[in-house]
A = this chain, B = another copy of it.
Amino acid sequence: MRVLVLGGDGYLGWPTAMHFSAAGHTVMAVDNYLRRTIALQTRSQALMTNPDLEQRAELFRALTGKEIGVRIGDCTDFRFLEGVFKEYNPDAVVHYAEQPSAPYSMRGYEEAELTLRNNLTTTLNVIWAVQKQAPACHIIKLGTMGEYGTPNIDIEEGWIDIEHRGRKDHFLFPRQAGSLYHTTKILDTDLLWFYVRTWKLRVTDLMQGPVYGLSTPEADLDERLAPNFHYDDLFGTVVNRFLVQAVAGVPLTVYGKGGQTRGYLNLLDTLQCVQLAVDKPAHPGQLRVLNQFTECFSVNDLAGLVQKAGKHLGLNVEIEHLPNPRKEAEEHYYNPAHSGLLELGLKPHHLDEGVLAAMLEQIVRCRRDIDRAKIHPRVRW
């Protein structure tokens, strides 16, 4: 199989590229370093230094003999992206190439405009590049569980049957998100669904929860192959932030009451899910939506787990409740379905003390590089 990974330098993109390459597929990774650029501009650099994408691909080849093709370019430039599809003719494209930070998207006009334009134009360009250059190519799009928000009804996998005044129809599950970034993923879904109906594209839209973890079989070959690890307020997700705070000896910063509940998954399970999607593609004319997470935790649950894991390593972990910088429900109903990927064959890894302890040990090795100024929220909405 020929697999094209857009956003191949990212936290998920690089491990995905290595995973498919190690599994014997032909892989090309595309990136324009947008996340690195924003991180540099906003003092949000990752904890460990990551070699650039070309260096990582060279190192991976030296260690494994497997080749990962690299193209540095901007997916919002249609001529560039169409050229990549024409040259490479992928069987599947994994589309991670979006500005991924919710707080960044809420920082000001320029950041909002960049996020909207980057994310929507890239999705439009992927659709058109597939239609023009590789019409049988299966589009695997990374969406987010955040598209659904926190409704007062059970969240289904992408779709819902509505019976209304004695008549029935089948619709996209209603979506309402908590940041502009998450809203752009809703717009992506709407856009994909329109073109799927119109052109009979094959699309899998993965509604993913927050991912944690640094270890994959390939990443573990050499620390320079590790995924990037952000713990700052823009790119760092809550698990990362808590782990770094535990190591740095500062209290874990719970936003508000801490009842905010989401579905989480291990990086290893993201790789499994994307692999399952590639192996069992959507049909022409199908927008297949899969809820991609393995277990639900509240922010308070996560703080408690990190505290416990820290204690076993001799870390004295305290918990502090900050005024919530975000507009979000701090106590809410949350019951999202997630059977689709299990039915495709997903074997979940669970978040336990062992996983957290292994991450804590990696972070302890970089303890002196932790910049505490990066952790506290700088953007409020």
A residues apposed to B, CB below 8 Å: 78, 109, 112-113, 116-117, 120-121, 124, 128, 132, 151-154, 160, 162-165, 167-169, 171-172, 174-177, 180, 183, 186-187, 190-191, 193-194, 197-198, 327, 333, 381
Please pick, from B113, B153, B172, B197, the residue contacting A168 in the complex, using a CB distance under 8 A. B153
Q: Which residues of B contact A193 (CB under 8 A)?
A: 176
Q: Which residues of B contact A327 (CB under 8 A)?
A: 197-198
- With both beta carbons as reference points, the residue of chain B lying nearest to A132 in the complex is identified as B109
| B165 close to A162 (CB less than 8 A) | no
| 28 interchain pairs, CB-CB under 8 A | A78-B109, A78-B113, A109-B128, A112-B128, A113-B121, A116-B121, A116-B124, A116-B191, A120-B120, A120-B187, A152-B167, A153-B162, A153-B163, A153-B167, A153-B168, A154-B167, A160-B164, A162-B162, A162-B174, A167-B333, A171-B174, A171-B176, A172-B174, A176-B197, A183-B194, A187-B190, A190-B190, A197-B327
| A169 close to B151 (CB less than 8 A) | yes
Please pick, from B152, B153, B165, B190, the residue contacting A154 in the complex, using a CB distance under 8 A. B165
Q: Which residues of B contact A186 (CB under 8 A)?
A: 190
Interface pairs A-B: 5 shortest CB-CB: A171-B174, A152-B169, A153-B164, A183-B194, A153-B167
Q: Which of A163, A176, A190, A193 neighbours the largest number of chain B CB atoms within 10 Å of its CB?
A: A190
- With both beta carbons as reference points, the residue of chain B lying nearest to A172 in the complex is identified as B174
What's the Cα separation between A256 and B193 when bound, in Å?
24
Q: Which residues of B contact A162 (CB under 8 A)?
A: 153, 160, 162, 174
| A194 close to B176 (CB less than 8 A) | yes
What's the Cα separation between A177 and B113 when bound, in Å?
24
Number of this chain's copies in the complex: 2
What's the Cα separation between A44 and B154 when bound, in Å?
49
Q: Nearest chain B CB to A333's CB is how many angstroms away?
A: 7
Q: Which residues of B contact A121 (CB under 8 A)?
A: 113, 116-117
Q: Nearest chain B CB to A368's CB is how many angstroms away?
A: 39
Q: Which residues of B contact A176 (CB under 8 A)?
A: 171-172, 193-194, 197
| B198 close to A191 (CB less than 8 A) | no
What's the Cα separation between A197 and B197 when bound, in Å?
30
What's the Cα separation between A176 and B160 when bound, in Å?
14
Q: Which residues of B contact A168 (CB under 8 A)?
A: 152-153
Q: Nearest chain B CB to A135's CB is how many angstroms away?
A: 14
Q: Which residues of B contact A190 (CB under 8 A)?
A: 175, 183, 186-187, 190
Q: Which residues of B contact A163 (CB under 8 A)?
A: 153
What's the Cα separation between A180 and B196 when bound, in Å?
12
Q: Which residues of B contact A153 (CB under 8 A)?
A: 162-165, 167-169
Q: Which of A117, A164, A176 neighbours the largest number of chain B CB atoms within 10 Å of its CB?
A: A164
Q: Which residues of B contact A165 (CB under 8 A)?
A: 153-154
| A164 close to B154 (CB less than 8 A) | yes
Q: Which residues of B contact A109 (CB under 8 A)?
A: 78, 128, 132
Q: Which residues of B contact A171 (CB under 8 A)?
A: 151, 174, 176
What's the Cα separation between A132 and B172 when bound, in Å?
34
Please pick, from B132, B177, B194, B333, the residue contacting A194 in the complex, using a CB distance under 8 A. B177
What's the Cα separation between A231 and B121 when bound, in Å?
31
